[in-house]
Chain A
């Protein structure tokens, strides 16, 4: 990390020219949309109910908290973001927002989101949100990301917490439902990110980030993608066996889970040239669709009354 993005050359005072959309971009809106979906699903599958206005307020607080952690991540990573093609156009490396502004913005939103969630929901939900922000901004961004190839495996927990926060909002405690949803996102993260890392390994090497393909090599990464996919697909079926996913979820999770495994094996087998790049991009793209689909179906079944119940196997 360096202060290069706050000092202009020749000792001139830096003045921000960022617009509202630049500040919004600091919140990583695409990640935020996934957090909204998974937190809402956590609320919908939780045993209990909450006033719709309070649920919406809590969801807003969770989304803003997630956005704040993304903002703090961009504040800390501005130096390496500038070196990678995927992130060079972000508001800080492109010079539209000052690092000091991003830090102030991220901290303000973090404190505000946690306080609001504590007021509209409960202390457990607020505490979990605070821990999630800390985990992503400090444990992942400041520590793991630059020090170990397991960065996105452990750091993936930050992205997996929202369903637990959602359940805590509704019930005031944590149960098996949100733990299973946590496990699905946690196991989904490595194949998702490593598929991208295989293609962008040059970018990560230039920035000095020890991603799995750069450290253990592409072959070991491909093997681990297959292993995590084989673990993830059965875990993703658990909601149907535990009674909070219905028939539609069972069909969706089995078919798309098998597709994930097929695409993971394709990544494993195609190791050279354009076919390898295509296979990695296919897995990366499909993994996003897969997670959105699983959570959207669970949400529709539990929130819109589309559940066709199945016999409960366990849980």
Chain B
């Protein structure tokens, strides 16, 4: 509910510029997530060292 007791109104439809901004933001988020995958993979390799290969197949 909004301050005046009425249900909140839906926002105005996105403009072309708004959509472009949200798209750029989504792409940036995807890149950060991909970077985190690589980050955790490399850190795990370094932390575990050669022992990472020492496991039953």
| A86–B8 CA distance with the chains assembled, in angstroms | 33
| A57–B10 CA distance with the chains assembled, in angstroms | 43
Least CB distance, B29 to chain A, in whole angstroms: 8
Task: With CB as the reference atom, state the residue of chain B lying closest to A51.
Answer: B46
CB proximity to A under 8 Å, residues B10-51? 10-12, 18, 21-22, 24-25, 28-29, 39, 42-43, 46-47
Task: With CB as the reference atom, state the residue of chain B lying closest to A14.
Answer: B11
Inter-chain contact total with CB atoms closer than 8 Å: 49
Q: Is A120 an interface residue (CB 8 A)?
A: yes
| A15–B11 CA distance with the chains assembled, in angstroms | 7
Number of interface residues of B (CB under 8 A): 22
Q: Is A94 an interface residue (CB 8 A)?
A: no
Task: With CB as the reference atom, state the residue of chain A lying closest to B6.
Answer: A11
CB proximity to B under 8 Å, residues A118-146? 119-120
Stretch in A16-24, A149-157, A194-202, A204-212 with 4+ CB within 8 Å of B? A16-24
| A270–B47 CA distance with the chains assembled, in angstroms | 57
| A17–B12 CA distance with the chains assembled, in angstroms | 12
| A51–B42 CA distance with the chains assembled, in angstroms | 12
Interface string of A164-181 (1 = CB under 8 A from B): 000000000000000000
| A120–B43 CA distance with the chains assembled, in angstroms | 7
Interface size class of A (residues with CB under 8 A): 10 to 19
- What are the residues of chain B within 8 A of A14 when measuring CB–CB? 11
Please determine whether A13 and B9 come into contact, CB atoms closer than 8 angstroms. yes
Please determine whether B46 and A54 come into contact, CB atoms closer than 8 angstroms. yes
Least CB distance, B37 to chain A, in whole angstroms: 14
Least CB distance, B46 to chain A, in whole angstroms: 5
Q: Is B54 an interface residue (CB 8 A)?
A: no
Please determine whether A11 and B2 come into contact, CB atoms closer than 8 angstroms. yes
Task: With CB as the reference atom, state the residue of chain B lying closest to A20.
Answer: B28
Q: A13-B10, A20-B24, A20-B28 are in contact. Are A57 and B4 (CB under 8 A)?
A: no
Q: A7-B2, A53-B46, A57-B43 are in contact. Are A18 and B25 (CB under 8 A)?
A: yes
Please determine whether A53 and B42 come into contact, CB atoms closer than 8 angstroms. yes
Task: With CB as the reference atom, state the residue of chain A lying closest to B46.
Answer: A53
Least CB distance, A284 to chain B, in whole angstroms: 33
Interface string of A1-40 (1 = CB under 8 A from B): 0000001001111110111100000000000000000000
Q: Which of A10, A17, A51, A57 contacts B9 (CB 8 A)?
A: A10
Please determine whether B11 and A19 come into contact, CB atoms closer than 8 angstroms. no
Please determine whether B2 and A17 come into contact, CB atoms closer than 8 angstroms. no
Q: Which of A10, A15, A20, A54 contacts B43 (CB 8 A)?
A: A54
| A12–B6 CA distance with the chains assembled, in angstroms | 10
Least CB distance, B38 to chain A, in whole angstroms: 11
Task: With CB as the reference atom, state the residue of chain A lying closest to B5.
Answer: A11
Q: 21 A-B pairs, CB-CB below 8 angstroms?
A: A11-B4, A11-B6, A11-B9, A12-B8, A12-B11, A13-B8, A13-B9, A17-B22, A19-B21, A19-B24, A19-B25, A20-B25, A20-B28, A53-B43, A54-B43, A54-B46, A54-B47, A57-B39, A60-B39, A119-B47, A120-B43
5 tightest Cβ-Cβ pairs between the two chains A and B: A11-B2, A20-B28, A15-B11, A53-B46, A13-B8
* 4 new A-B contacts at CB < 8 Å, known A7-B3, A14-B11, A18-B25: A12-B10, A13-B9, A15-B11, A17-B22
Query: Which residues of B approach A to under 8 Å, CB–CB?
Result: 2-4, 6-12, 18, 21-22, 24-25, 28-29, 39, 42-43, 46-47
